[in-house]
Structure 1
């Protein structure tokens, strides 16, 4: 889920880690005015001592976090708890999704030392649960699957008690990539559908809805012990019936955990917010998803893929054992 709140644009404490221009590929897109956010969306700017310490460790290890690159509204809360979601394989994505605030272009070569740097940061932060995601790397033969596997192995070696959740790209047309990642045995494998299929051409044009559903299903076929997770944004113009069908598609793929959050427009060059979904509708989605059989559901305006991931993982394990 990719969002950008006002304080992330203005507060020098939350400036992105790179000074390079953002989104040169979007300069020719029409301007779409940013809408005023309702009261239930607003959050406080970060600034606690714990937040500062987390930021220092991230900087010292020269790591990228999706918390910053995607402008997540929960960065203050999560970093104050020393929780950061690491984004491996650089800060440049080979795709240009209309919702996403990560820059698009030709990525740099992989950093062979990055898995060790992530593992070192996990150890210094003392994380019980870590989330690792990445940009899309369509330029790589395996889509970065081996780099994911190396990062998982490095964390396991340095912090064997830490549970590992990964949020992967779709590995479209990357034969054997998913098998490489699953063989590394993450505890949770997350792959976000992001939106309903009717919105893919406008919102996620480089991806294929049913390929993503099949990827999640394939994880369970390869190793049913791994928890699977997926998430969507609402407010992009989808119908309620489409969201309910998406839930059924994910349950058919035996997905354990569903997240639903409000889409927030990062800049005037990104897809417009078509609607701010009120909290009571999120609660209705949450109840419906549980009725359909998901082990875990998080559905609120500020829900994001890795928000409260550690607590949610503990609940997942408890509910599987019931």
Structure 2
């Protein structure tokens, strides 16, 4: 009997293949595996948790897991969206697991994390987009490890009214929502999302909790221009976003959005200079930057930058 496996990306099955270009030297990473790496993986399996590190095929997984830093992806491993850049499986997700927030908190405690990043799939099937589940996870981590700072990377809650307020009220230390790309690429890169909805979400977070750090991320190499990115930076600053990450898009499979080009390390350095000149408290712009890469160190730098900015105003 042949078992028919469900395709990971059914919405991309009919798309023409795009050649995946060879990565330049500054993108390639050596495989990093250590006792800590395998212990981190064991803990994720033991607590039945999905991680964006694995599901999104992050190039930094070896380094992060060897430091016992894993980014939990809650609400299951199946997303209701079909973004053309993303490697997370798409389709009809399972019912929410009410015990998942507790398992996340237990894993955070065992890993000894000072700072944890919790992300999720999009759950357009839920009335609140999963906002209450995210809030419960924040509270569970705070209950088990009060000293751990919590960063959430959330969906856009598109069409869910005031659902996001549930997350704001849970008061994470960092609220992150990635714009991912520039407005004119949304129809092909994020067809299920709306640029200004995402921008408004970030603005709403800051208005609801002024002391909350807000954060957003962009990919380059999808077909954007430098001027496109400058405009997005201005939009993010108008929404009072504190922290910007910029990284190189890497094409997961031949069915995903093709790579337009690889931006050079010098160009990433230029992006960082531009972003800092626009007033972001902190910027991470390198080819391998990802939302949760070095998140604990970045959070410390973010706090220090705010303290310095307040001191300068005094």
Using structure 2 for the length normalisation, give the TM-score: 0.96
Is 1:125 equivalent to 2:111 in the alignment? yes
1:17-36 to 2 correspondences below 5 Å: 21-36=7-22
Aligned pair partner of 1:94 in 58, 61, 80: 80
1:132-151 to 2 correspondences below 5 Å: 132-151=118-137
- Looking at both structures, which has the greater relative contact order when contacts are Cα pairs under 8 Å and sequence separation is at least 6? 1
Name 1:242's counterpart in structure 2: 228
Name 1:16's counterpart in structure 2: none
Aligned pair partner of 2:56 in 64, 70, 75: 70
1:135-214 to 2 correspondences below 5 Å: 135-214=121-200
Which deviations, in whole Å up to 9, do the C-alpha atoms of 1:75-118 show, x marking residues without a partner?
00000000000000001000000000011101000000000000
Deviation of 1:61 after TM superposition, in Å, equals 0.2
1:80-91 to 2 correspondences below 5 Å: 80-91=66-77
Name 1:12's counterpart in structure 2: none
Deviation of 1:224 after TM superposition, in Å, equals 0.5
Q: Secondary structure at the match of 1:244?
A: helix
Aligned pair partner of 2:42 in 51, 56, 60: 56
Which deviations, in whole Å up to 9, do the C-alpha atoms of 1:293-313 show, x marking residues without a partner?
000000000000000000111
Deviation of 1:25 after TM superposition, in Å, equals 2.5
User: What CA RMSD, in Å, does the superposition of the two structures yield over aligned residues?
Assistant: 0.8
Q: Distance in 2 between matches of 1:294 and 1:27?
A: 40
Number of residue pairs matched by the alignment: 304
Q: Distance in 1 between matches of 2:124 and 2:33?
A: 36
Question: Structure 1's 74 and 249: CA in aligned 2 closer, same or farther, altered over 3 A?
Answer: same
Is 1:279 equivalent to 2:249 in the alignment? no
Which deviations, in whole Å up to 9, do the C-alpha atoms of 1:40-70 show, x marking residues without a partner?
0000113111101100101100000000000
Q: Distance in 2 between matches of 1:29 and 1:288?
A: 36
Q: Distance in 2 between matches of 1:259 and 1:203?
A: 18
Structure 2, unmatched stretches of 5+, are 309-314
Aligned pair partner of 2:202 in 216, 238, 250: 216
Deviation of 1:210 after TM superposition, in Å, equals 0.8
Q: Distance in 2 between matches of 1:210 and 1:102?
A: 24
Q: Secondary structure at the match of 1:195?
A: coil
Name 1:10's counterpart in structure 2: none
Q: Secondary structure at the match of 1:180?
A: helix
Name 1:288's counterpart in structure 2: 274
Q: Distance in 1 between matches of 2:135 and 2:262?
A: 38
Q: Distance in 2 between matches of 1:134 and 1:314?
A: 23
Deviation of 1:20 after TM superposition, in Å, equals 5.6
